[in-house]
Amino acid sequence: MKKPSMTSIVTRTATVLSLSLSVLQPALGVWSQYQIKPGDQLGNLLLSKNLNLPLWGNEGSVQKVFEYNKEVLSSADLLVVGNEIYLPGSKEDFSNTSVSQEMASTVNEAESGAKEEVQEVSVKQAASEKSSESESSQSEKNEEEVYTPAQLKIGATFSLLNLDIKNDQESLNLESDLAYGVSARGEFPLEEDLFLDLGIGYKKLSFSQPDGLTLDAGDDTFFNFNMGMVSYWNRFSLGFGFHYGQDPVVTALSATTVQVKSFQIFSPYLKARYAFYSKGRTQLSLEGMGMYNLPSKTDRFELDFGYNAILNFDIERKLSAASSLSFVPFVDYQKKESGPLEQKGTEIGVKVFYNLLD
């Protein structure tokens, strides 16, 4: 069925009003409206007005009034309290019954048609509004699901580290074996849109023996810890904090020996994250993290300068309302300097997290 336009509805309504006036105008002083009260009967009402033609029979006043009001009355003997009917003012007014009935029927048909169109439009408008509300609600829901700040992630890391080392006399490329480790991180609410950022990790790392050189690598286990805060704005988040970690550092390089040790490094960090895709159960995010390695010194090594630049690509898939799985390829570019010794490295790997969501 073609959807009725507002012009159609206005036209039909105007027709109804016009027909109603044409019927009622000549009858205003003839047939008057009456609201049925408890105890009313047509016969009693007509007798009280001296409108018996006689009262009963096919040509009686009760039958004529019933026929005039048959759109309202289902039976001449059954009057519903509160309904409105029309009664004549005198016996002569019965002569208007047939004409009035025809025009009243026309009015009723017009009113019925207009009501059907209005109801159809109302139903479709209600359905459209409901659909819009549902889409809006779903859109808001999707926006809410762009991130889930309160979370605890537990997982494993696998990576390879390539180091380029040089000093005034020598240069060397050093490659690691496959490194592996475990880590946990979490974001816990402090107040609206602000969360405590905590993380801890352990990694086992070893290096292949370089050709023609003696490798002195006494430490192969590394721990790290970070604490900070993260603030969220819908798809975007910004975090900052402090990182403590043990990094592999080349402390000596000569023509015959290379020495690699774990070194404690303190680093303030800043990270930004943007969820560029979120639909259904899948979310894709990019996270960039920068760490500045504070100068530090031990009895065997002194770090003058250093930094890490890390890029994480997070592919997250919701398993349920309370859990998800993340697959996170990452690249960590790092540089450290100590006197004449310079170390540059690139770590490439992947993290797999099981996420407990709040």
Query: How do residues 322-352 score in pLDDT, each as one tens digit?
Result: 899 999 999 999 999 988 999 999 999 999 9
Instruction: Give the CA-trace dihedral at 204, 208, 212, 218, to 10 degrees.
Output: 10
CATH class of the domain at 6-142? alpha beta
Whole-number pLDDT of residue 144: 47
Q: Where are the domains of the chain?
A: 6-142, 147-357
Distance of CA 321 to CAs 57, 195, 280, 335, Å? 76, 20, 12, 41
Indicate the pTM of the whole model. 0.60
CA distances from 20 to 15, 45, 106, 299, 345 (A): 8, 26, 9, 106, 91
Residue 132's pLDDT is what? 62
Cα distances (angstroms) measured from residue 303 to each of 258, 260, 346: 17, 14, 19
Highest-pLDDT range among 10-14, 30-34, 171-175, 284-288:
284-288
Q: Is the pLDDT of residue 29 over 60?
A: no
Residue 354 makes CB contacts below 8 A (sequence gap 6+) with: 153, 154, 155, 323, 325
Q: Above 50 in pLDDT, residue 30?
A: yes
Q: What is the pLDDT of residue 78?
A: 84
Query: Which of 229, 235, 84, 248 has its CA nearest to residue 175?
Result: 248
Residue 121 above 90 pLDDT?
A: no
Give the per-residue pLDDT at 54: 74
Instruction: Please state the φ and ψ torsions of residue 91, each to the nearest 5 degrees.
Output: -60, -35
Of 51-55, 92-96, 160-164, 289-293, least confident by mean pLDDT is 92-96
pLDDT-derived band at 59, boundaries 50, 70, 90: low
- What's the rounded Cα separation, in Å, for the pair 235 and 209? 46
**What's the CA dihedral at 7, 11, 13, 17 to 10 degrees?**
150
How far apart are the C-alpha atoms of 182 and 160, rounded to whole Å? 15
| C-alpha closest to that of 249 among 238, 241, 237, 258 | 258
pLDDT of residue 330: 98
Does the structure show a pLDDT above 80 at 255?
Answer: yes
Owner of token pair 């100590």: 338
Q: What are phi and psi of 248, to 5 degrees?
A: -75, 125
Q: For residues 358 and 258, which has the higher predicted lDDT (pLDDT)?
A: 258
Mean pLDDT on 7-11: 57
Cα end-to-end span (Å), the chain? 49
In DSSP terms, 267 is beta-bridged to 243
pLDDT at residue 25 in the model: 43
- Please, what's the b/e burial string for 253-274 (b: 16 or more CB within 10 A of its CB; e: otherwise)? beeeebbbbbbebebebebebe
- pLDDT, residue 8, reads 60
d(CA 233, CA 1): 47
Q: What is the CATH number of domain 147-357?
A: 2.40.128.100
